[in-house]
């Protein structure tokens, strides 16, 4: 029988099948085939749309938990396949060996890249967190010199004491037995602190009555809008930005408010410094950069200083405050840890003769050497950061073909996302109790012992390791100890606690708590 006869017979049979039945059969085949890819690729792969439907479902809930589930199923690394002709192709990993390869071994081959820089540039400009190559090295060198100066370190320690005792504790005292958002209060604290240290200005956000803070609200809106760009096709978010609609419209309005704040601070700081002699012109980072010259011997332009402000606010405001919010939520779930911290704090201050009388509970100020000795508290904070890192995910771009230590092939130009959130929940890294809040895992013979950064990358690692790591720990320990020795922080019953999809791990609904005096 000829092939033409076979074809004619097939078409005759096909013509007798109802169109609806044919469509149903075809749809069933596509669905079964797409879903069958889940075992091989970690997610269903749909024609044309790739894995986008699964992503859209995942981000409606806790997106970080969704990613973690996929990574657990795929042994720590999978390739996300976006829609055809889109730039949403990405390798996602939570493998410590891969992370070390990205951030240290082949550091030069995994820059932020033009794609990621394009996403964050509206907010961060050409600052230290959004640049690569020589521009980044110049930023890093200048900033490192300042962070390691004795003058700035002394100013940081003084600022924490001043803000905690003159603002935080009075505000908390006014809110005893009244439900309030602790995350909001902590954001105000760290915002005031970073503005004083980095910008030489005091916005006064943390004060009785908790006044409106337009710049801080705008900053949070920006981080949320920028995060959405990572899961939106570039052409789409750029079109929305051009039209000023949706999250992009909100981003534009927030950027305007943030820029007004930053340029006003720069203008005012320039005016203040012009009337002061060099030695009294301030140790804040903005003042230092106003005195410095660029590589051509010129003063830095206002746009450079604006980007500096945005980058330091992101580093100093959001990271510590959201870490503390998650920490107090975890304490509420684990009262035995709270008791251990309280016992350690009391033991340390009793050694200097403090017994809760005489000096007065409200006037108790921890000394730097006492804060340093709070080993269990540092372990508990590290455990909180392991489970809830302030930056849940980060991105890089591949400059040439590479192969990860786990064997995953990477094509030049593909994006790489490493999930810090997922790393804290991998049994292969932390054991079967990886989801438990257990500070003891950080202690050896009662002393705090840190883990390698490629296993615990809460402060990044390699050449880009966080310059403010030591101060962040000091600030968090001082604030926690000052609160916990005075109050029990109780989370309001049935308050929903989930992370928001943003550059930093804000709690979507804040942290509603009630303070009980000890």
Q: List, in sequence order, every residue forming a beta bridge with 91; answer none if it has no partner.
A: 79, 416
| Regions of the chain with pLDDT less than 70 | 1-42, 46, 48, 85-87, 277-281, 354-362
pTM (2 d.p.): 0.87
State residue 366's pLDDT score. Answer: 94
Residues 6 or more apart whose Cβ sits within 8 Å of residue 238: none
Q: Give the span between the Cα atoms of 254 and 260, in whole angstroms.
A: 10
* pLDDT number for residue 3: 57
* Pair 428, 420: CB distance under 8 Å: no
Which tens digits make up the pLDDT trace of 46-83?
676 777 777 777 777 888 998 999 999 999 999 888 77
List of E strands, 333-431: 393-397, 402-403, 409-410, 415-419
Contact 34, 49 (CB under 8 A): no
Instruction: Let me know the angle formed at the C-alpha of 507 by 103 and 98, rounded to the nearest 5 degrees.
Output: 20
Q: pLDDT at position 111, please?
A: 95
Longest dimension (CA), the chain: 108
Residues contributing to the annotated binding site:
466
Question: Which of 414, 420, 422 has the alpha carbon at shortest distance from 80?
Answer: 414
- Tokens (6 digits) for 406: 């786990």
* Binding region for heme: 466
Q: How far is CA 152 from CA 25, 165, 189, 260, 510, in A?
A: 70, 20, 19, 26, 32
CA–CA separation, 160 and 240 (whole Å):
41
Instruction: Specify the residue for token string 């730097």.
Output: 368
Summarize pLDDT for 452-488 with one digit per residue, the tens.
999 999 999 999 999 889 999 999 999 999 999 999 9
Q: Are 398 and 412 in contact (CB under 8 A)?
A: yes
Q: Are 149 and 332 in contact (CB under 8 A)?
A: no
| Cα torsion 469, 259, 205, 269: sign | positive
Give the model's pLDDT for residue 18: 56
């Amino acid at each position: 029988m000829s092939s033409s006869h076979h074809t004619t017979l097939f078409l005759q049979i096909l013509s007798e099948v109802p169109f609806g039945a044919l469509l149903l059969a075809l749809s069933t085949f596509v669905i079964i085939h797409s879903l069958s890819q889940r075992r091989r690729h970690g997610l269903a792969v749909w024609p044309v749309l790739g894995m986008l439907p699964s992503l859209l479902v995942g981000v409606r809930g806790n997106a970080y938990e969704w990613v973690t589930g996929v990574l657990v199923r795929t042994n720590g690394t999978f390739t996300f396949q976006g829609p055809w002709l889109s730039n949403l192709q990405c390798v996602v990993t939570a493998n410590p060996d891969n992370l070390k390869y990205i951030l240290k071994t082949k550091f030069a081959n995994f820059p932020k890249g033009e794609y990621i820089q394009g996403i964050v540039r509206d907010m961060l400009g050409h600052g230290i967190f959004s640049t690569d190559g020589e521009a980044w090295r110049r930023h890093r060198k200048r900033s490192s010199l300042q962070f390691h100066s004795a003058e700035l370190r002394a100013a940081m320690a003084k600022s924490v004491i001043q803000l905690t005792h003159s603002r935080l504790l009075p505000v908390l005292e006014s809110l005893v037995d009244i439900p309030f958002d602790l995350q909001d209060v902590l954001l105000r604290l760290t915002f005031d602190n970073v503005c004083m240290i980095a910008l030489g200005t005091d916005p006064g956000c943390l004060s009785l009555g908790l006044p409106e803070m337009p710049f801080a609200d705008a900053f949070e809106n920006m981080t949320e809008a920028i995060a959405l760009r990572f899961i939106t096709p570039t052409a789409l978010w750029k079109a929305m930005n051009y039209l000023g609609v949706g999250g992009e419209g909100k981003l534009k309005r927030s950027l305007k408010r943030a820029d007004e704040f930053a340029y006003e601070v720069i203008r005012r700081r320039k005016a203040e410094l012009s009337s002061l002699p060099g030695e009294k012109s301030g140790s804040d980072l903005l003042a230092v950069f106003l005195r410095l010259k660029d590589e051509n011997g010129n003063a830095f332009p206002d746009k450079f200083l604006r980007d500096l402000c945005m980058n330091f606010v992101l580093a100093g405001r959001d990271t510590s405050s959201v870490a503390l919010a998650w920490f107090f939520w975890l304490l509420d779930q684990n009262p035995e840890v709270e008791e251990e911290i309280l016992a350690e704090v009391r033991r340390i201050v009793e050694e200097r003769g403090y017994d809760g009388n005489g000096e007065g509970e409200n006037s108790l100020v921890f000394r730097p050497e006492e804060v340093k000795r709070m080993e269990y508290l540092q372990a508990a904070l590290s455990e909180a950061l392991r489970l809830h890192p302030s930056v849940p995910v980060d991105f890089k771009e591949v400059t040439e073909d590479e192969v990860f230590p786990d064997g995953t092939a990477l094509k030049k130009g593909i994006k790489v996302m490493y999930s810090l959130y997922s790393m804290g929940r991998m049994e292969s890294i932390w054991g079967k109790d990886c989801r438990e809040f257990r500070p003891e895992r950080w202690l050896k013979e009662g002393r705090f012992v840190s883990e390698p950064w490629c296993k615990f990358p809460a402060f990044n690692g390699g050449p880009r390791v966080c310059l403010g790591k030591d101060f962040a720990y000091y600030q968090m320990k001082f604030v926690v100890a000052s609160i916990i020795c005075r109050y029990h922080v109780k989370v309001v019953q049935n308050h929903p606690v989930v992370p928001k999809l943003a550059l930093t791990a804000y709690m979507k609904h804040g942290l509603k708590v009630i303070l009980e005096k000890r």
